[in-house]
């Protein structure tokens, strides 16, 4: 072996040893500076001598190349879920069923980690594949992301011919709070809890993102093993720990369900002190032969059960109610609380859902309230302690104007949500622009969500109208987009200026107005000015425009910022006129309703629908007595049956072609 190769192997062994001492055993032997020096030396050697690079090198923990997607993995041993218990009686019932088959059963009790279940596979002691649980039968290959989790050994102590283990990837509370602080600083959506954060991080297509998230793992089960004989759960955990895995090794066994339940309560009492989230505790039969005797059901093993702790409740004072405007324009009331620790995390804010929830619970500013983490995830105000009221408490009212942009706030009939109607609302800006440039709307090719995000981040645009004022050199300089790509995008923007009027109407994002309604409105009013001047009464007289839609349109154009937005589009050269020639238009399907079903050979459904609408007809998704024709392709199902039962005319593709010829 050459000296270089020998040194690389020595460095890898040293780094993995110290990595295990620091992350798994919490017993570091060298300083961070010394560890970093070893890692830098290895990185330099692997860069200089790429022929010695290895997928299982510690340098791979920073993340490799991004994957286009995750490949499916069929689990040889099904990753089953656990039956759940919510009371001591249910634990005793489980014990009774176990002892009918195994009278002298002994139990182990362990924390139920609130994370994402994964499978890790090793061949000859080397980590080869990692996958998510998925539906228990088929998961996703996330090997490259799992390599970045420092508590997963890339190489075992012994060269076991084959080993598959199951573990729970989680995000420590400290890492979770750090991640959410970073997201908040970037004005990005926050993760609701560490479990969601762990799952989202592990499913990032770019492993480098997963590497920065500080994920961790506890391994708790041997799925398959070759070359070793393991007879009990505790022996298995000891073996896994020797091989370098991170486990929660509780070597106590319990001869009765009463003793096991006492341990469950003990774990529950200590959950606030843990650095990770748990959502229960698990009782398992220790002996593997006894497990084989008990067997499994279609859904879960008969030798284990998970006890779920009741949601923890705490009392605090509600100091104020703040309105949060979401990306869809929904206004959500948020309770600002005196900080209280609930289920292991500090809670100072809680959702109040909507104004109906506030009225139903009679929640007032200044109230003493009970906080609960629903499913140990989202903090919510569940009760008001009215006997604590002093008379100084004040009722809350939803604002009439959006706190983000000042636009009118509306609540449509039958909806619980109040919404902002401002097209330029900062809270909705990204979503509104993405919709405006999308294919069903202005169809600006090349201007996808990622480019929109960069344009906003670089303050190149603030609204969708600003797109029509961008200079080519500004685009070319943005994040190395390049002159050619920039010019292609400018060409797409210029092309969109000549779009038909209905695309602009659809792009405005008026609530309840989609592509189909936009086409109807463009034909009716011919100009954007004519459309903006329409009254609610006039609009409701149009086919396919109901009362809610008419109200939504009128309220949209009552907002000054929306009118300014349309003026900016006009000044930017965007077409605001429907110049189709109605006098010469072929309206042979006027007043006729078609339903399409089955697989068409000559047309896509969207193409057939477009032809019908161009000829004055309309399409529907369901068959009724008002349906004139059902265009049926191959393998037509229930819609064809219903059409025949109602006596609706059924036509084939050939007959359809005769009709449109």
Residue linked to tokens 């005319």: 649
As to burial, measured by CB atoms within 10 angstroms (0-12 exposed, 13-18 middle, 19+ buried), residue 597 is buried
The answer to whether residue 516 is catalytic is no
Contacts of 303 (CB under 8 A, 6+ apart): 98, 284, 285, 290, 291, 294
Cβ atoms of 283 and 302 within 8 Å: the answer is no
Tell me the C-alpha distance between 404 and 324, whole Å.
9
Residue linked to tokens 């589009």: 569
554, containing H or E segment: helix 547-557
Tell me the C-alpha distance between 504 and 498, whole Å.
10
Contacts of 483 (CB under 8 A, 6+ apart): 472, 476
Tell me the C-alpha distance between 164 and 156, whole Å.
12
* Neighbouring-strand partners of residue 163: 122, 225
Cβ atoms of 75 and 139 within 8 Å: the answer is yes
Residue linked to tokens 């600003």: 466
Our separate counts of H helices and E strands in the chain read 24, 21
Tell me the C-alpha distance between 352 and 406, whole Å.
22
At residue 116, φ and ψ (nearest 5 deg) are: -120, 120
DSSP label of 466: G
Tell me the C-alpha distance between 7 and 52, whole Å.
11
Structure tokens at 15: 């780094």
At residue 347, φ and ψ (nearest 5 deg) are: -115, 120
Q: Which of 21, 88, 112, 480 is catalytic?
A: 112
Best CA proximity match to 108, nearest among 308, 304, 307: 304
Tell me the C-alpha distance between 285 and 233, whole Å.
8
3-state helix, strand, coil in the chain (%, to 5): 40, 20, 40
Structure tokens at 281: 């505790």
Cβ atoms of 89 and 169 within 8 Å: the answer is no
Tell me the C-alpha distance between 123 and 140, whole Å.
19
Tell me the C-alpha distance between 337 and 583, whole Å.
65
Cβ atoms of 134 and 150 within 8 Å: the answer is no
- The strand ranges marked E within 101-142 are 107-113, 116-123, 126-132, 138-140
Pairing mode of beta strands 116-123, 278-285: unpaired
Q: What angle do helix axes 3-19 and 32-48 make, rounded to 10 degrees?
A: 150
Tell me the C-alpha distance between 263 and 281, whole Å.
9
Best CA proximity match to 62, nearest among 144, 153, 117: 144
At residue 473, φ and ψ (nearest 5 deg) are: -65, -30
Count of all residues that appear for the chain in the document: 661
Tell me the C-alpha distance between 283 and 257, whole Å.
9
Alpha carbon separation from 630 to 2, 208, 442, 609 (Å, rounded): 77, 52, 31, 12
Residues belonging to the active site: 112
């Amino acid at each position: 072996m050459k000296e270089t190769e020998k040194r690389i192997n020595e460095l890898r062994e040293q780094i993995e040893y110290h990595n295990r001492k620091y992350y798994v055993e919490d017993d570091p032997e060298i300083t961070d500076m010394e560890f970093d020096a070893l890692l830098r030396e290895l990185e330099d050697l692997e860069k200089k001598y790429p022929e010695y690079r290895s997928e299982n090198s510690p340098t791979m923990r920073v993340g490799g190349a991004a994957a286009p997607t995750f490949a499916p993995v069929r689990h040889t041993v099904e990753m089953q879920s656990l039956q759940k218990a919510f009371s001591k009686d249910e634990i005793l019932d489980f014990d009774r069923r176990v002892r009918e088959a195994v009278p002298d059963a002994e139990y182990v009790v362990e924390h139920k980690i609130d994370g994402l279940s994964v499978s890790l596979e090793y061949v000859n002691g080397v980590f080869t594949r990692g996958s998510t649980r998925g539906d228990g039968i088929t998961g996703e290959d996330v090997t490259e992301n799992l390599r970045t989790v420092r508590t997963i050994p890339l190489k075992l102590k012994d060269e076991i011919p084959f080993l598959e283990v199951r573990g729970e990837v989680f995000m420590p509370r400290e890492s979770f709070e750090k991640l959410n602080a970073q997201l908040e600083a970037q004005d990005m959506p926050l993760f609701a809890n560490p479990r969601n954060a762990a799952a989202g991080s592990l499913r990032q297509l770019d492993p480098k993102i997963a590497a920065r998230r500080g994920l961790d793992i506890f391994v708790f089960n041997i799925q398959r093993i070759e070359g070793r004989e393991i007879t009990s759960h505790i022996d298995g955990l000891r073996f896994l720990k020797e091989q370098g895995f991170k486990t929660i090794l509780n070597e106590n066994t319990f001869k009765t369900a009463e003793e096991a339940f006492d341990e469950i309560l003990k774990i529950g009492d200590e959950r606030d002190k843990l650095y990770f989230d748990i959502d229960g505790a698990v009782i398992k039969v220790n002996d593997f032969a006894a497990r084989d005797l008990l067997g499994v059901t279609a859904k879960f093993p008969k030798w284990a059960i998970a006890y779920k702790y009741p949601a923890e409740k705490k009392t605090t004072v509600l100091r104020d109610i703040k309105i949060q405007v979401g990306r869809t324009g929904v206004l959500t009331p948020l309770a600002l609380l005196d900080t209280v620790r609930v289920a292991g995390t500090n809670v100072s804010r809680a959702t109040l859902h909507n104004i109906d929830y506030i009225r139903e619970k009679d929640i007032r500013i200044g109230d003493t309230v009970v906080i609960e983490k629903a499913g140990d995830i989202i903090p919510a105000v569940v009760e008001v302690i009215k006997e604590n009221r002093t008379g100084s408490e004040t009722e809350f009212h939803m604002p009439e104007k959006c706190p983000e942009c000042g636009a009118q706030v509306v609540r449509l009939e039958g909806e619980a949500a109040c919404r902002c109607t401002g097209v330029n609302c900062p809270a909705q800006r990204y979503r509104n622009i993405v919709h405006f440039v999308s294919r069903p709307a202005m169809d600006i090719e090349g201007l996808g969500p990622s480019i929109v995000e960069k344009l906003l981040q670089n303050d190149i645009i603030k609204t969708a109208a600003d797109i029509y004022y961008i200079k080519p050199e500004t685009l070319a300089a943005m994040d190395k987009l390049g002159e050619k790509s920039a010019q292609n995008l400018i060409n797409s923007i210029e092309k969109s200026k000549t779009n038909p009027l209905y695309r602009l109407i659809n792009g405005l994002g008026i609530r309840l107005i989609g592509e189909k309604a936009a086409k109807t409105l463009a034909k009716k009013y011919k100009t954007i000015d004519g459309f903006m001047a329409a009254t609610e009464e006039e609009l409701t007289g149009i086919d396919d425009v109901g009362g809610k839609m008419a109200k939504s349109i009128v309220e949209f154009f009552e907002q000054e910022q929306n009118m300014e937005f349309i003026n900016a589009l006009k000044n930017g050269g965007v077409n605001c006129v429907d110049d189709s020639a109605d006098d010469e238009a072929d309206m042979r399907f006027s007043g006729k309703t078609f339903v399409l079903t089955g697989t068409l050979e000559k047309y896509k459904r969207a193409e057939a629908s477009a032809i019908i609408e161009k000829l004055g007809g309309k399409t529907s998704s369901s068959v009724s007595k008002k349906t004139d024709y059902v265009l049926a392709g191959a393998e037509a199902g229930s819609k064809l049956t219903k059409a025949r039962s109602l006596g609706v005319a059924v036509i084939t593709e050939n007959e359809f072609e005769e009709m449109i010829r």
